[in-house]
Structure 1
């Protein structure tokens, strides 16, 4: 039981580190004319979105070859994300209309863009592409591990998809510049999620974790140094389906994410980092709302500073969630039935 609890804790901490990196990366986007911010921005994008696909593979299971199994998989893993996508997307479209003074024709057409998804989404919904690609990747990987028995063949298929994704970047779809739901990104993200599915089983058997973490640290420093001195120009932007180094796009995210996972495991053993678990449990909520909250400093007459935007994007969704839970707790324990029974 203790092992299971520890495992859940470090996974939540890893997700928390990922969502902090997502919010921070978006907050400093406007500062990229400064070389140091541009370097940090690129370095964050090497790992933060692949991390969520890797973690998404941790708890996947093959499904049996029946329609009932497919239905249960859809109901448990995909349908909640689809409902959240359209519900939160609709709320944010309406909110954006009033906050940004957009005309009704723009707002009405944005609902069409919500259906199409992917790179057509911007402003408050710019991160929603992730939910599109995450759902599609879940489906592809589950089909792969369920219907392709050979593990070697699974990896061959996955790596062939990855190669296709790097060769045919930003392909058109029936004359449209963007694929619906950024479906072409699944060619890349399938490998990351499959690595999470098989890698999770190996994490418990890893020895010399601190030595391994040191090696990953050295690799990271060399990568950052080469990027800083312009020996390489490695970019990995999954949303725009843009990468310029196939080998690094495959290897670097896996190595860096392993480093984040090892750090999360160490942090989970230190009780004073457990406050991060709350962020890890609500990554989807923060992902949905942080871009809208970036407008809050300007609306409140506060400085439009990247740090203030970052703090608001991270803390306000958690505060709202905590207030909502307290309110629900109050309603449950002070319902009319209770007064009647007392």
Structure 2
């Protein structure tokens, strides 16, 4: 998820020679907007139209962006092993490290028993909807990993593009065609694997639309039309003309067609805004914030719970600290690391 390469990804299989890497500013800025929306949505206490509209697009945005730099694998075990080692394992490793750290913090802040914490770690390994409290946002990672592997397999082993689209659309229809896995099977699937059916569609759409995005979002007419369309749906939700929800983690989806189209409309608006912000004086700061989206994703819910124990309950303050505290932590980490490195490298 941290990879951001300006390359023609659809023509470069894993394991082949690749062009030099270059981060694309508007991609990181879009992630910054997305993570701010995630934190605000989790802090906001009212399930009103604003809350519902935020949930329409903030998680689909990350899956859509995740599709930008996906590439088909070479048809060899070596290519598959490199993909798992370079793309999948680092994300899952960070998931386990961050989750273990938060469970450790939870052990002390909530005065948990050892049995509870061991069980909590078991839930971390299982992933998905069984994660709540301090780690409730971690479901995103397991769904991302499953969707990423599935889409890579799809574009590697199914060659006709029309059949790829048919597959992800069919899986999306299947994934939105029932209430939730627990009701259907009697238990939640590991890693929210059923939610990955939805994430696959958003990720594949990002993969296919990426080459066209720059032209689309740079067009004032197309961007204006996207803004008007998104505003129209938001107004309709506020005015009770429609009543649509898209809560991916809990698998609460009112309408599959709406969930497949309107979130992408909002994603195009966010990317268009990000493209324009990339030309402002705030571009560097916003791009840097976007690069920290994963640490904010991992930590903000734990920060909320700790602040609430200190009687800080205002949602705006919670959202602000949910972003600021991880940022301060990252800055302190890099500052300490640089200081230690300079001391070690200083000749005696």
Indicate whether the TM-score tops 0.5.
yes
Q: What is the CA-CA distance between 1:175 and the residue it aligns to?
A: 5.1
State the alpha-carbon separation in 1 of the partners of residues 85 and 183 from structure 2: 29
Alignment of 1:191-270 (within 5 A): 191-206=201-216, 209-270=219-280
SS at match of 1:271: coil
State the alpha-carbon separation in 2 of the partners of residues 23 and 277 from structure 1: 17
Counterpart for residue 338 of structure 1: 346
TM-score, length-scaled by structure 1:
0.92
Residue 31 (str. 1) matches residue 31 (str. 2): no
Contact persistence 1:297–1:308 (CA under 8 A): no
- Residues 69/176 of structure 1: CA separation in 2 closer, same or farther (3 Å cut): same
Q: How many residues align?
A: 330
State the alpha-carbon separation in 2 of the partners of residues 254 and 235 from structure 1: 15
Residue of 18, 24, 27 corresponding to 1:8: 24
Alignment of 1:87-102 (within 5 A): 87-102=97-112
- Residues 176/89 of structure 1: CA separation in 2 closer, same or farther (3 Å cut): farther
Counterpart for residue 312 of structure 1: 321
Counterpart for residue 90 of structure 2: 80
SS at match of 2:244: coil
State the alpha-carbon separation in 1 of the partners of residues 201 and 185 from structure 2: 28
State the alpha-carbon separation in 2 of the partners of residues 225 and 259 from structure 1: 15
State the alpha-carbon separation in 2 of the partners of residues 311 and 169 from structure 1: 34
- Residues 242/31 of structure 1: CA separation in 2 closer, same or farther (3 Å cut): closer
State the alpha-carbon separation in 2 of the partners of residues 6 and 80 from structure 1: 20
Counterpart for residue 170 of structure 1: 180
State the alpha-carbon separation in 1 of the partners of residues 253 and 268 from structure 2: 21
Query: What are the Cα deviations for residues 60-105 of structure 1, in whole angstroms up to 9, with x where unaligned?
Result: 1111011110011011110011111111111111211211222332
Between 305-314 and 215-224, the greater mean CA deviation after superposition: 215-224
Between 235-244 and 203-212, the greater mean CA deviation after superposition: 203-212
- Residues 271/328 of structure 1: CA separation in 2 closer, same or farther (3 Å cut): same
Counterpart for residue 153 of structure 1: 163
TM-score, length-scaled by structure 2:
0.90
Counterpart for residue 67 of structure 2: 57
Give the alignment's Cα RMSD to 1 decimal: 1.9
State the alpha-carbon separation in 2 of the partners of residues 339 and 7 from structure 1: 35
